[in-house]
Structure 1
Amino acid sequence: IQSTSKCHLLVPLRFLPYILVLLLVVTLAVAIGLGVQYNCIGKFRCGSSFKCIQPSARCDGVYNCKDGEDEYRCVRLSGRNAVLQVFTTGFWRTVCSDDWKEAYGNATCKHLGFSSYVSSGNLPVDAVEEEFQRYFVSLSHWLSSNRVTFLHNSTHIREECTSGKVIILKCLVCGTRSRYSSRIVGGNASAPKQWPWQVSLQFQGFHLCGGSVITPWWIVTAAHCVYDLYVPSSWSVQVGFVTQQDAPVNPHSVEKIIYHRNYKPKTMGNDIALIKLAAPLVFNGLIEPICLPNFGEHFPAGKMCWISGWGATEEGGDTSETMNYASVPLISNKICNHRDVYGGIITPSMLCAGFLRGGVDTCQGDSGGPLACEVRSTWKLVGSTSFGVGCAEVNKPGVYSRTTSFLDWIHEQMEVGSFTGKIKLLY
């Protein structure tokens, strides 16, 4: 008997539409489930995996994430006065001055990624912003190891501070500059010591971008400067000079380059990077760090801030031999997102500064450099130069990465480097 092979459906044809609908529902359910898992709504997502953990599992001394990142970023400085807060039992809690010891300050600064500690003090609870006047904690002792501080062993939840005061902390002398003499009257050429945190990032000996000194070891710059040139040995850092011809003979070598893992070249999202030097800088007046802002610190629209760098002085021009500077006002994201300006592409982690009429702006070669604002005689790194349309065009102000949006990321990289010596691309 001769047989003929034929293809047969595994189910009757009349049931096929129902099965397709069922597959579609299952696919959507899985996709939604993965989306929730990936976004970790209301939870903490491990950067080393898709795992989500409860907020209460953060900073509890147990490594719930593969790389232990849930035990980093457990302390922060908040508000205009740098109030100390710790994350414990699922909340950020303000540290009372009750039982505080000076030695805790040194440990805290290390966990913020600083290699230095200056001082701690206290303020009345009602002297700090309202958002930091609830959820309190006191420290009875501070257990420090090479990897993590186990906050759950040292914190005591308080409904209020018995002392009526909370801790403020200073880890680094920053944001100050020596007296300088302007050499050019009415001009915008920088003088020595005027912007001592400004650095020139040089690729194979040529200036490519700017950056800002934030500690003896660390430089903040833009991710787009280093994204396609991820070769630390080809980079060097020059600092403490004004004209390129006066640059020191021996530039500073680069040990590590870290750009934000979520940097998006097409949209310029998360355009921030860190550079770790092979040896620490020596602060001497010509070279000084700029302060990072604190969590929750606000810089209002209209505030006049300052930009600086060796970028071109006109669109398409060569980089400048002399560091230039200019004053620009901060612009609200609402105005900057207007259809006549940037038409909705400005995200909350971006910041605009400049004049809508044009005329003053950063330009090619200024990328990564500082947007510096003075607050009560202290200079703070409010933004890093990211992008713009042309240079100084009408309705196209400069766009900067908003530093306060990346404080978690900056401190985590510094903290990981401080405790392990290893740098990872973490969120």
Structure 2
Amino acid sequence: MSRTRSATLLLLAVLGVCGPAPGARAVLSRKPTAATATTTTTSTTTASSSTSANSTPRPFEDLVEAGTRDLEPPSDCITPANLPGNCQRIQTCHPLYQLMQLRLNSVQIDFLRRSQCGFEGRNPKVCCPQRARAPSQGGHIPDWNRVAGFTPIPTEGFPKENFPTDFPISAPRSCGRQHASTGLTRVVGGQAARNGEWPWIVALGYKTHPRSSFAGRPQFKCGGTLVSEKHVITAGHCVYQKSNLYLARLAELDLEDDEDGAHPVDIEIATKHVHPDYSPTRFTNDISILTLRRAAPFTDGIEPACLPMRPDIRSRSFVRDNPFTAGWGSTFFNGPSSSALMQVQLPVVSVEECQRAFASIKTATIDNRTICAGLQKGGKDACQGDSGGPLVWPWEGTYYLIGVVSYGLRCAEAGYPGVYTRVTEFLDWIQETMKV
């Protein structure tokens, strides 16, 4: 059976339909709208005709383009994320076609169902999100749970994809040691993690409204990194004005699969410490420390990452190094979140290269407090829902926390790396806060 035929049948199964009746007319599931520049707000997005350089972004939101989409075909549908799109066969819509290759969770299945906009013969059509162009002037707007890439302006000097993928595993038991049979492999453009590969990663749970679809269950919107038996490092925007953050889940692999071999442990959060100089408008000092109500039980599935305290690591720029990041975020921009932990390896680019990439975004501050990582051609990145998660660097078999997922432009698009908070610049504050 051809891949195209398989995808069509799978989508029909997901949609719970067998195609339109003979002679039936395809009907759009959403009203057509004129193409507009999009701006993201918390969690989902809304449309806006323009974004001024002086507008105020919300805590960690995706930076989106300002200006028009004059190179885009007219929009004829609206995606489940409330963005303009084009109704087309799923085989020609790369992000949704790639989503079909995964083991779908209930959220992803619902997203695909709500993406349906008609049929072409017996072939389902979906509302495919339009791609964005690079901003012509300092526009911005963000969504408080993710990191990413964006579009054009190919920046010279980005590393090529020629980095190693396997690292030795032999490290002290105290921190930064994996408990999987092999090293980390290559979130957008990534692949599913295995048990024991990320013993330090934490899923942060938020209380939900009693009448929401998550009623009685935590909603996992951000990630974090266990750095001691009672402390988790995450992004400032994951904690700032988020009174409903209450839970840290350790040793998780698949949020919806109780038979994945993982043995997750839930621990309530006792105190939250956002960096005193965190700026929700300029995305600076985007780091927080959470203190757990009780000590985490260290097992093969739970172990802290090492803080980069060694002088030779603390002074390192990490440019051209190839760290890893992971999370349960979206597998494409404004797509549904993944229930499975996904991981990816990314090369670090210099501060100067990153500054050039973000030069048109007036509120994006790139300096020695940040670390940027991504491929020039795009295709691999963290995304919405990965915020606060770890960027870890392997050295001599030990994994060191060098970055915290902060912000970016869309997800995994060419020309823009993702931006992470550089942990080495905050070690003094981290040590003092952990003493409290």
Please classify the TM superposition score into its range, dividing by the shorter chain length: 0.5 to 0.7
What pairs up with 1:28-427 in 2 under 5 angstroms? 173-180=174-181, 188-204=191-207, 205-231=218-244, 234-245=245-256, 246=258, 251-294=266-309, 295=311, 296-338=314-356, 345-415=365-435, 417=436
Q: Distance in 2 between matches of 1:404 and 1:236?
A: 26
Q: Distance in 2 between matches of 1:179 and 1:273?
A: 28
Q: Is the 8 A contact 1:310 1:324 kept in 2?
A: yes
Q: Distance in 2 between matches of 1:303 and 1:183?
A: 15
Displacement of 1:179 after TM fit?
3.1
Structure 2: tracts of 5 or more residues without a match? 1-170, 208-217
Q: Is the 8 A contact 1:307 1:370 kept in 2?
A: yes
Q: 2:56 aligns to what? A: none
Q: 1:88 aligns to what? A: none
Q: Distance in 1 between matches of 2:250 and 2:328?
A: 12
Displacement of 1:377 after TM fit?
1.2
Post-superposition CA distance 1:228-253 (Å, at most 9, x none): 2135xx51011112100237676211
Structure 1: tracts of 5 or more residues without a match? 1-169, 418-427
Q: Distance in 2 between matches of 1:254 and 1:413?
A: 15
Post-superposition CA distance 1:334-373 (Å, at most 9, x none): 1111156666730210110111221110001000000000
Decide whether aligned partners of structure 1 residues 381 and 250 sit closer, same or farther in structure 2, where only a CA change above 3 A counts: closer
Q: Is the 8 A contact 1:304 1:328 kept in 2?
A: yes
Q: Distance in 2 between matches of 1:184 and 1:372?
A: 13
Q: Is the 8 A contact 2:406 2:419 kept in 1?
A: yes
Q: Is the 8 A contact 2:229 2:304 kept in 1?
A: yes
Secondary structure of the equivalent of 1:266? coil
Q: Distance in 2 between matches of 1:377 and 1:178?
A: 12
Decide whether aligned partners of structure 1 residues 181 and 329 sit closer, same or farther in structure 2, where only a CA change above 3 A counts: closer
Decide whether aligned partners of structure 1 residues 182 and 322 sit closer, same or farther in structure 2, where only a CA change above 3 A counts: farther
- TM-score, scaled to structure 2: 0.53
Structure 1 stretch displaced more, 182-191 or 264-273: 182-191
Q: Is the 8 A contact 1:311 1:364 kept in 2?
A: yes
Secondary structure of the equivalent of 2:323? strand
Displacement of 1:300 after TM fit?
2.8
Displacement of 1:289 after TM fit?
0.5
Max radius of gyration: which structure? Answer: 1
Secondary structure of the equivalent of 2:192? coil
Which amino acid in 1 is paired with 2:273?
Answer: I
Q: Distance in 1 between matches of 2:319 and 2:185?
A: 30
Q: Distance in 1 between matches of 2:427 and 2:265?
A: 31
Q: Distance in 1 between matches of 2:416 and 2:205?
A: 27
Secondary structure of the equivalent of 2:241? coil
Displacement of 1:264 after TM fit?
0.3
Q: Is the 8 A contact 1:315 1:391 kept in 2?
A: yes
Structure 1 stretch displaced more, 357-366 or 184-193: 184-193
Q: Distance in 2 between matches of 1:281 and 1:250?
A: 8
Decide whether aligned partners of structure 1 residues 409 and 394 sit closer, same or farther in structure 2, where only a CA change above 3 A counts: same
Secondary structure of the equivalent of 2:382? coil
Displacement of 1:180 after TM fit?
3.1
Decide whether aligned partners of structure 1 residues 341 and 373 sit closer, same or farther in structure 2, where only a CA change above 3 A counts: farther
Q: Distance in 1 between matches of 2:306 and 2:234?
A: 14
Larger relative contact order, structure 1 or 2 (CA cutoff 8 Å, min sep 6): 2
Displacement of 1:182 after TM fit?
9.6
Q: Is the 8 A contact 1:382 1:402 kept in 2?
A: yes
Q: Distance in 1 between matches of 2:328 and 2:358?
A: 29
Q: 2:140 aligns to what? A: none
Q: Is the 8 A contact 2:370 2:419 kept in 1?
A: yes
Decide whether aligned partners of structure 1 residues 353 and 279 sit closer, same or farther in structure 2, where only a CA change above 3 A counts: same
Decide whether aligned partners of structure 1 residues 410 and 171 sit closer, same or farther in structure 2, where only a CA change above 3 A counts: farther
Post-superposition CA distance 1:297-339 (Å, at most 9, x none): 3143111110100010010012111000011001110111115
